[in-house]
Structure 1
């Protein structure tokens, strides 16, 4: 049943009238990540339009958790306290059952965790959603599972009998509820509901949800554990009326929307009091498919690639067992990671720390770490490639101009992950199957099919993508001292530089990464991308000992810079133009970030000072527009720009503008990077990995 209960509706109206009734740290965002571990395991608690138009959020039990697309992924949390029933997650409506809603007291969001505290019947229920970020452990990071820990503690000094319940629905399986689901339940030290579609379609999606693989929903078995599958109102009603489940299994496989099958676990936590430690139950949820990626390789053949965790776990069950055993250590690692990120970001500002915390899981939720099999069926542990989904915009695989804005996150957390991502693109283009002389836009039109563009008809962003690949290749080598890719793919990098030499000083009519703004000739910011790209190749040749080539490219850059400044500097105002000879135009010249990142010193500091002064007088409430054609902007480009402006007040204005947008309640989706600077309304895009660009200030600060 998908209708909100009367109590939920009343609460939503009340929250609108009274404002957010709970403490939110660092702030109350448009969407709160719950289980975000892969492109196909991406659930969040969202603030929907119409429920928060005045900046008011909805609590964990004020709406259904959903996929990043907005599709409901019903996840229900109930509690039975001293014989009375309460809801603490989701909005179930079960006729014939009397229950109340727990009251949300607080939510705390870190880089890896979302922690909700709700009060009911003299008890505080703490629901901790931990999506581990393990950038240096490829097995752990590639295991697409997330934790939910639920604990109960007395808040009134009394003793209380507490049981907790959590279920998921078949809606987690597909982008369409017309498909038939099947399931099986395994009981043992860990009880697991495994749910999948009856008809699997390998490498296919519907509305961005995978059409193959299985959901695994598990909990540890204790003396107080009960379990049940069946129709939502039946299973939930059982717990709401009795505080326990019936240990029965309805195996009437059917369409997801046919009597809404749900898969439930319940724990009797016993008696909690002010003198006892909080009692808790641990749950895990994951989505596994194998093979995970279809990838084009030498000889124009397609290779099946699997998630890297298979190199250590022979079965999913073994992985789940290890994941459970690792929970305490995983929590300690998460706390340490969160503390480091917060400390580093707080050196800039508390607002910035909040933006970064909200961004990190979103990026890691867009990538998958993979390996291949050898001729004998074993896994090649040393053949590691990282694939990124261009979530929300095109759904492409390893889009170079999505990898580039996300790049600061990888430089900050583990640059080697970035290398494995670049290698996907390098390997394909080194096969010679891609016919264009510039870098490919992406390695596949529809994730998870990384099947290339042998016809050369991918979206053409020639200067953009050549510059991006050079930026990433050099900055990785500078960060790590690993020049292996520079050596292996020197000819490709040089080929792309030759294109930049032809088309960067005076860029032809083309699109940039901001393709939604349309094509334009003589784009100033695109020229910066190209010129800095040539400078990057000069440094690459220097690192490789190619002194003559390095000097040649350095001289080309030196000759281009004064010509560029003559073309691009407005004759009527102290700023760079959007396009040459359009004196009354301007835009965010965010590509100057590359000059600072790679320490190339191509442009004089006076240029940065001029641009800083211009932006200081052109802020709207939610930031500086992307350019003079529109009033919208991009959050990643604002913070790229904030990383190099020469005035900390202007830097902080950019940061605060982004924070205000994501926390003011005018839209209700996972972090969007494209929105209007005047109205604060989302222009498009959400949940994209480009928010990794928000870490630009951390990278330059290092």
Structure 2
């Protein structure tokens, strides 16, 4: 197979030596409205998104939904236009949440009789308890409530002595899962099944009329479906003298490509171009892993006049903590031509907190401005910093140090560039935002640094200086890479498919952490975001692999090597691979409650074979041949008609005799045969090739249901996506007789819904990565496009505004669960096939 990386590197080199391109305009025009736009991303912890159509519609947030505020404004001839984020509310607590005060309320776990939400309800039979209410894994829990499929009812009464309904009032609440909230008997919140922290609900004029002088009551009901449980809420009044960037810039354009998100705004008589770039070039492991992003900006006059312009950018130490109550420290300093504002938690519990929906609370965030005329950074009072900018376009004199022990005392970390007089020729520059996690994760009881640090030889300041000194070449390389990702996808599957891949790229990369073990092995660990928090899960590696197999197989190996080594060490001695290596960021061994023998065995053998075919040799396989043999023999003995085993789609329920799981076993055996032949083991190759063929023929007979094939061998009138069969087509083995693939694809087309092809006959939900694998079995691009159209419609229209959810309902387009996951690397299966056929 042609060396794709060499080809890409050559094209980038040629571009970087040419005239600079317009880095403020996307290399490709994109129509897709992404559910959430990546802004500042690097790994599962440095991850900031905007889940809105307009960048000004709300506060930027972590993939978990936790606020990670970025704020931007442009001051033009003395008038300020907000172009990024939402004004942080300057609120006074009437009844505070537990981040300020551990409050007490009445509660019951039984369904109450009578009008329990009414202000005058007799709650004497209820228990008294302190907030927050929920499971022990949640923050600030004082009253435990954790059982699945149970309910809690909470009432909280309070007095208001001075009531002015011209004020703005906000209910703030956190919940997990289904939540309802009432103010003096009036229902104001009904969430459905979801979980969110610190939701701000501004009271409407009608809702404000429900407030009264004297006694008031907030009542809440929460149902815990599964997993964590949580209830906390409060009422707040906005301060009358709050400082705001009230005027919104007009957003004219938004385009998301592989490494960059592009925006254009009108700010009165000038236009602002804004580009967020994560230089995650897949062939440059240093850049891929360096946790520093660019924010580029250009301002130009649109009325042929000069205008006086200053740009303001801000974040806060909230970037560095998991809970708002965690104390932080921040400081300012300059080093080698860059001025920094640094912030981090005071406690620095490195790799201490493990789990799923959490943010980092160790390491240090850096807002970095390159020294130059008119540019400055500062640290200081949150409101006064903006007041100074609004007044005359400057920052407050920086505080050298700031300690925060209460959320309301959080400072502003700010950057200003006084661009001076701006004409139609425009002026441009950039700043940087980064995060040094000190140590990234714990692997086999040893804390390991990110790859970019090279075991401590490179500091975060070295990284910032490298990105400063190479800004234009890196931006041009990113532009060339974006165009390559788009063009390859367009060639493989059309414009809509290319836009989906462009939107997915940073999500896939940023769900991983790259590092090396103490032997120097390259390791690339995923976090199972919004699923269970597992680290380096094998059945996430499998669907995500097409992106890496296409452009850098070393990263595919880096996801697999630790699983091989775990078994080779003797710490895992079962005849199939482990499911995971722990819960992120602790990777000391499998923690998942159940094994997936055929699933994980098939995944590892198939991917090893895929690497061998791409590289044209089985050198990687040879190192672990004994393990591959053991796993393949397990597949041969148990894979024809699987028992009641878990598979990667375990959320759908695990049926015995799973036909798609059987295909995985057959393809694993076939892949082992292919590798054996590469190694010169002809007898072994022939034996396992014959076994795979024999099993495939028998499979066709067992699963056949006329015009399609069953979900499970013993279940009549069922069907499922047979996405594991894609390897038979890609490798040209033709194991399955009687046009199985053709019949399946034709049948799928009869089962599609508005937002895609269901996973199987049991439910209307689907997995979008598997849709694209199944669609890749299509005989031509026109047929492939019939599967892509409804999937594009889902991504473009879903009301679930999260980093793309790979598990959604095909009738409503709403997510079921899962977001920000690496598995959508599977979207590159058609590109991988296109490259494979091109070089076969």
TM-score by length of 2: 0.75
Aligned to 2:694: 559
How far has the Cα of 1:498 moved from its partner? 1.0
> Is 1:388 paired with 2:521?
no
> Is 1:404 paired with 2:542?
yes
Cα distance in 1 between the residues matched to 2:47 and 2:546:
22
Cα distance in 2 between the residues matched to 1:70 and 1:143:
24
Aligned to 1:72: 67
> Is 1:690 paired with 2:828?
no
Contact 2:73 2:245 in 1 (8 A): no
- Write the mapping of 1:203-602 to structure 2, written as runs, cut at 5 A: 203-205=351-353, 207-249=357-399, 251-255=401-405, 257-274=407-424, 276=425, 278-296=426-444, 302-311=445-454, 314-347=458-491, 348-372=493-517, 382-444=520-582, 446-453=583-590, 458-570=593-705, 573-602=706-735
2:347 to 199, 221, 238: 199
Deviating beyond 6 angstroms after TM superposition, the runs of 4 or more aligned structure 1 residues are none
How far has the Cα of 1:230 moved from its partner? 2.3
**Once the two structures are superposed, what CA deviation does each residue of 1:478-525 show, in whole Å capped at 9, x if it has no partner?**
111342321110011111111101211010001210110111100011
How far has the Cα of 1:96 moved from its partner? 5.0
Contact 2:330 2:402 in 1 (8 A): no
CA 1:256–1:288 in 2, change beyond 3 Å: closer, same or farther?
farther
How far has the Cα of 1:467 moved from its partner? 0.5
Contact 1:163 1:267 in 2 (8 A): yes
CA 1:98–1:617 in 2, change beyond 3 Å: closer, same or farther?
closer
Deviates more, 1:287-296 or 1:689-698: 287-296
Contact 1:183 1:251 in 2 (8 A): yes
Cα distance in 1 between the residues matched to 2:580 and 2:661:
19
CA 1:256–1:364 in 2, change beyond 3 Å: closer, same or farther?
farther
Aligned length: 651
**Once the two structures are superposed, what CA deviation does each residue of 1:48-93 show, in whole Å capped at 9, x if it has no partner?**
xxxxxxxxx3x11111111001111110001111111111101115
Aligned to 1:661: 794
Aligned to 1:170: 317
Secondary structure in 2 matching 1:554: helix
**Once the two structures are superposed, what CA deviation does each residue of 1:302-325 show, in whole Å capped at 9, x if it has no partner?**
233211212285321111111111
Cα distance in 1 between the residues matched to 2:320 and 2:29:
31
CA 1:129–1:450 in 2, change beyond 3 Å: closer, same or farther?
same
Secondary structure in 2 matching 1:146: strand
Aligned to 1:652: 785
Cα distance in 2 between the residues matched to 1:97 and 1:361:
32
How far has the Cα of 1:26 moved from its partner? 2.8
Deviates more, 1:351-360 or 1:431-440: 431-440
Aligned to 1:52: none
How far has the Cα of 1:344 moved from its partner? 1.4
1:615 to 711, 725, 748: 748
Secondary structure in 2 matching 1:550: helix
How far has the Cα of 1:243 moved from its partner? 0.9
Contact 1:524 1:577 in 2 (8 A): yes
Cα distance in 1 between the residues matched to 2:734 and 2:834:
16
Runs of 5+ consecutive residues of structure 2 not aligned to the other structure:
1-27, 91-241, 836-840
2:76 to 66, 72, 81: 81
Cα distance in 1 between the residues matched to 2:245 and 2:343:
30
**Once the two structures are superposed, what CA deviation does each residue of 1:422-457 show, in whole Å capped at 9, x if it has no partner?**
11211111111113211111111x11111013xx86
- Write the mapping of 1:23-102 to structure 2, written as runs, cut at 5 A: 25-47=30-52, 57=53, 59-92=54-87, 95=242, 99-102=246-249
Cα distance in 1 between the residues matched to 2:731 and 2:333:
53
Contact 2:756 2:766 in 1 (8 A): yes
Contact 2:384 2:396 in 1 (8 A): no
Contact 1:536 1:600 in 2 (8 A): no
How far has the Cα of 1:371 moved from its partner? 2.5
**Higher helix share goes to which structure?**
1
CA 1:105–1:286 in 2, change beyond 3 Å: closer, same or farther?
same
Cα distance in 2 between the residues matched to 1:589 and 1:96:
57
CA 1:223–1:213 in 2, change beyond 3 Å: closer, same or farther?
same
Runs of 5+ consecutive residues of structure 1 not aligned to the other structure:
1-22, 48-56, 297-301, 374-379
Secondary structure in 1 matching 2:407: coil
How far has the Cα of 1:103 moved from its partner? 0.5
Deviates more, 1:250-259 or 1:394-403: 250-259
CA 1:241–1:692 in 2, change beyond 3 Å: closer, same or farther?
same
Cα distance in 2 between the residues matched to 1:179 and 1:273:
46
**Once the two structures are superposed, what CA deviation does each residue of 1:105-146 show, in whole Å capped at 9, x if it has no partner?**
001111111011111121111110001122122222121111
Root mean square deviation, CA, Å = 1.8
Cα distance in 2 between the residues matched to 1:236 and 1:482:
60
Aligned to 1:131: 278
Aligned to 2:149: none
Cα distance in 2 between the residues matched to 1:279 and 1:457:
54
Secondary structure in 2 matching 1:218: strand
Cα distance in 2 between the residues matched to 1:368 and 1:681:
29
**Once the two structures are superposed, what CA deviation does each residue of 1:165-190 show, in whole Å capped at 9, x if it has no partner?**
11111221122111000112112411
How far has the Cα of 1:231 moved from its partner? 3.0
How far has the Cα of 1:605 moved from its partner? 6.9
**Once the two structures are superposed, what CA deviation does each residue of 1:188-247 show, in whole Å capped at 9, x if it has no partner?**
411111111001112134732122111111111212022221232221222122211022
Cα distance in 2 between the residues matched to 1:313 and 1:32:
33
Cα distance in 2 between the residues matched to 1:669 and 1:431:
39
Contact 2:564 2:624 in 1 (8 A): yes
- Write the mapping of 1:100-111 to structure 2, written as runs, cut at 5 A: 100-111=247-258
Cα distance in 1 between the residues matched to 2:277 and 2:496:
22
